[in-house]
Structure 1
Amino acid sequence: MKQLLIIGFVWPEPKSSAAGSRMMQLIFSFLHQDYQMTFATATAKTDNAFDLESIGVTVKAIELNSSSFDTFVKELHPDIVLFDRFLAEEQFGWRVAEQCPNALRILDTEDLHCLRRGRHQALKEGKEFDNSYLYNDTAKREIASIYRCDLSLIISEVEMNLLTNTFKIDASLLYYLPFLLDEIQEGTLRSLPTFRERQHFVSIGNFLHEPNYNMVLHLKTAIWPLIRKQLPKAELQVYGAYPSQKVFQLHNEKEGFLIKGVAPEVDEVMQSAKVCLVPLQFGAGLKGKLIDAMLNGTPCVMSPIAAEGMFGQLPPNGFITGTPQEFADQAVCLYNDKLFWEQSQEQGFECLRKRFMKSQFEMPLMNRVEELLKTLPLHRQQNFIGSMLLHHSMQSTKFMSKWIEAKNA
């Protein structure tokens, strides 16, 4: 039985974030292939963390800047090590390479952090995003991490194109793997609340993620007043894990702008709403909130950033638009027009069926992993930049870590 070690940047919280859902999809995919699995992380376990031991995954607390990890990983002797985001690879990649040189190293990027950071900076400066914002210090670290790994999982086709065409990374180091969803049962779709049975608007997102707070602030100041002017009795119900005081300060019952905090059940929240609003101003990757909306038959009005990589050549489950006035007008149209609402709902179901079914992606991924396990020495020979970066750049991380360990002793 093959041994897989996942080094988590955080504990997976599938009910709180898209990243948590993504990690659980990967875990279940490898479990279905009878991998023996260990999840190790240096972060404290949260109340919202998934109970991994309940599905047969061994959990292990590890320390940063400690040789205890070296002992642990050498004894475990995994066939595969999967890093959750490049930050985990920076901390532990050199240790894995030293102690388990024959282990296949896989990076799950979740999304491109450098893209999100560059867009955020452009937004703060009030300028159009271009490559001068993309080539930031985070990009240097993130792209180096991709090169040091044997394979990187990329969640968005847009980011695949960016990595191959802009950063010129060889396609053999990258693997497109979107969200992995179970087949949608027709009976489930037929049982969803109808247009007449729903009311109000919804927006949702983990508030620890800066783009989500920015989105809610943009809704509050620029978009919701325009919607409310046309629909004076409508409400916007805003849900999300880890809301801070500055989030709750946006709550205003007179304006129908309601901060609800953590969603008890995302499906219930989405099914009760008529329209989901997703005016993200910056970000990267795929948006789990759009997946949740489509699964529950809730049409969306979204920004181009929110829709990026989601629909391919298919029509969206609603409207994609940028300016506040257009966004508000389209939201009101979708809210009032039963025919267009139902058409948008069906387009969402079609997108899920054609682009995110686990059955399309799971076995090809496993076949790629098996192929790499058999041809790893040759694969690494063809990635000289990766071996060079592992030799040079990781030495600074290595010796800084050893210095911190000695200092803490």
Structure 2
Amino acid sequence: MKHLVIIGLVIPEPASTAAGHRMMQLIELFREKNYRITFLTAANNMDFSEKIDVEKIEINSKSFDEKIKTLNPDIVLFDRYVTEEQLGWRISENCPDAIKILDTEDLHFLREARRKAFAEKREVNDQDFINEIFKREFASILRCDLSLIISEVEMNLLVQKFRINTEILFYIPFLSEEKQENKPSFADRQHFVSIGNFLHEPNWQTVIKLKTFWKSIRKLIPDAELHIYGAYATEKVFQLNNENDGFIVKGRAESAESVFRQYRVLLAPIPFGAGLKGKLWECMKFGLPSVTSSIGAEAMHKNLPWNGFIEDSDKNFINKAVELYQNEKVWNQANDHAEEILKQVFDKQLYVDQFWKKIADMKENLQNHRAENYLGIILQHHQLNSTKYMSRWIEEKNKK
């Protein structure tokens, strides 16, 4: 049986994070091809994690070498660049014939560039991209045989600006399959909603922005409420709760689907970030139109009409939120747009055959594939002479 080993930064939490949902979709892809799957991680987030077979590992330890040699995988999938940084060299040494795949989740250096520009109240410039995360993430991409890119914008950035060879990249967004039936109608829904894991800084900044918008929206729709959901909400989040104003912090959602099925409009004025926004993708599946920012909708709809509105000015955002909430015709049109986006951008069948063809071609020509990746060879050499020996030093230090 073919064997996939996933090295996870955290255990997937698909109910809490888009990254968790993404990882479970990739796991399902490999399950459909009858791969044996082993998930290795040093993380401890078990309470809300997906029920998958997990084996604990130590990062700076020879025990990993013995474990990976015993597992002898055909493919190793790294969950974000950090895991490749920590353990990629050990895979190369102990399982040299295993295909190394990096799931970037999103480009962390891009998110950091935008965060910095947001904090400094200015536009992003090219110099912002060349941050410390860029150097590390870019090196991980080059060291791997293939990197999975979730956003077309990020794919174009890597190829056109940074000249990465397309042979080591594969674009694969969130994947939609079955069409959701029996979605509640306009009349069966009420209130606004926002949702997002609070370990992710853009989600906190989104809620801060909504707090500034809410009085204007409530003035125009006095009976409406805004319910804020998100895993890992801290005390500073709950301090925003004000039931008299209809601004209600709910905390972790037990079921994202049930949330998306009961509200009328999702509000997501996301100020910065990268990748794709899982909540906006799930909105489309469950019949919940949204008002978001350009960053929120980035790479999610090609040139198709959005399932709601995309607005970056505060005034327009507020007005469109009210319009979408009150106008049933506009609301129904938004849901029609969602169906078209799911079909043309996220349909699983658009990507799965190409993905497996890519994997098959790499298996047959792995040495040639690697030989063409000159920068990867150089970076692999330097990693074995830097990261490797740092890890060995920590390993020896821990023994004492």
Q: Which amino acid is 1:20 matched to?
A: G
Following superposition, the deviation at residue 45 of structure 1 comes to: 3.7
Distance 2:208 2:386 in 1: 40
Alignment correspondent of 2:13: 13
Alignment correspondent of 1:181: 176
Matches within 5 A, 1:244-259: 244-259=234-249
Q: Note the alpha carbon deviations across 1:366-409, whole angstroms, 9 max, x for none.
A: 12111101100000110010010010144221111111110010
Q: Which amino acid is 1:205 matched to?
A: G
Alignment correspondent of 1:56: none
Distance 1:399 1:43 in 2: 23
Say whether 1:389 aligns with 2:379: yes
Following superposition, the deviation at residue 362 of structure 1 comes to: 1.7
Aligned residue pairs, count:
399
Q: Is the 8 A contact 1:8 1:40 kept in 2?
A: yes
Matches within 5 A, 1:89-104: 89-104=84-99
Alignment correspondent of 2:109: 114
2:57 is matched with which residue: 59, 62, 69? 62
Following superposition, the deviation at residue 173 of structure 1 comes to: 0.8
Following superposition, the deviation at residue 169 of structure 1 comes to: 0.4
Q: TM-score, normalised by structure 1?
A: 0.96
Q: Secondary structure at the match of 1:52?
A: coil
Q: Secondary structure at the match of 1:365?
A: helix
CA RMSD of aligned residues (A): 1.0
1:404 is matched with which residue: 372, 394, 397? 394
Distance 1:226 1:303 in 2: 18
1:276 is matched with which residue: 236, 258, 266? 266
2:122 is matched with which residue: 97, 120, 127? 127
Q: Which amino acid is 1:202 matched to?
A: V
Distance 1:377 1:269 in 2: 48
Alignment correspondent of 1:220: 211
Distance 1:45 1:229 in 2: 41
Distance 1:292 1:320 in 2: 17
Alignment correspondent of 2:292: 302
Q: Is the 8 A contact 2:89 2:383 kept in 1?
A: no
Q: Secondary structure at the match of 1:160?
A: helix
Alignment correspondent of 2:159: 164
Distance 1:128 1:360 in 2: 34
Distance 2:43 2:331 in 1: 43
Q: Secondary structure at the match of 1:162?
A: helix
Distance 1:298 1:379 in 2: 44
Distance 1:264 1:161 in 2: 36
Q: Secondary structure at the match of 2:34?
A: coil
Q: Note the alpha carbon deviations across 1:305-364, whole angstroms, 9 max, x for none.
A: 000010001111010010111100110011111111100011011111221122221222
Q: Which amino acid is 2:248 matched to?
A: L
Say whether 1:31 aligns with 2:22: no
Alignment correspondent of 2:369: 379
2:309 is matched with which residue: 309, 319, 324? 319
Identity %: 51
Unaligned residue ranges in structure 1 (runs of 5+): 54-58
Alignment correspondent of 1:52: 52
Alignment correspondent of 1:347: 337
Distance 2:289 2:372 in 1: 46
Distance 2:282 2:321 in 1: 18
Q: Is the 8 A contact 2:290 2:307 kept in 1?
A: yes
- Tell me whether 103-112 or 176-185 shows the greater mean CA deviation: 176-185
Say whether 1:240 aligns with 2:207: no
Alignment correspondent of 2:149: 154
Q: TM-score, normalised by structure 2?
A: 0.98
Q: Which amino acid is 1:196 matched to?
A: A
2:190 is matched with which residue: 199, 217, 221? 199
- Tell me whether 150-159 or 365-374 shows the greater mean CA deviation: 365-374
Distance 2:225 2:385 in 1: 55
Distance 1:69 1:392 in 2: 21
Following superposition, the deviation at residue 52 of structure 1 comes to: 0.8
1:75 is matched with which residue: 63, 70, 76? 70
Q: Is the 8 A contact 2:41 2:56 kept in 1?
A: yes
Q: Secondary structure at the match of 1:293?
A: helix
Q: Is the 8 A contact 2:192 2:226 kept in 1?
A: yes
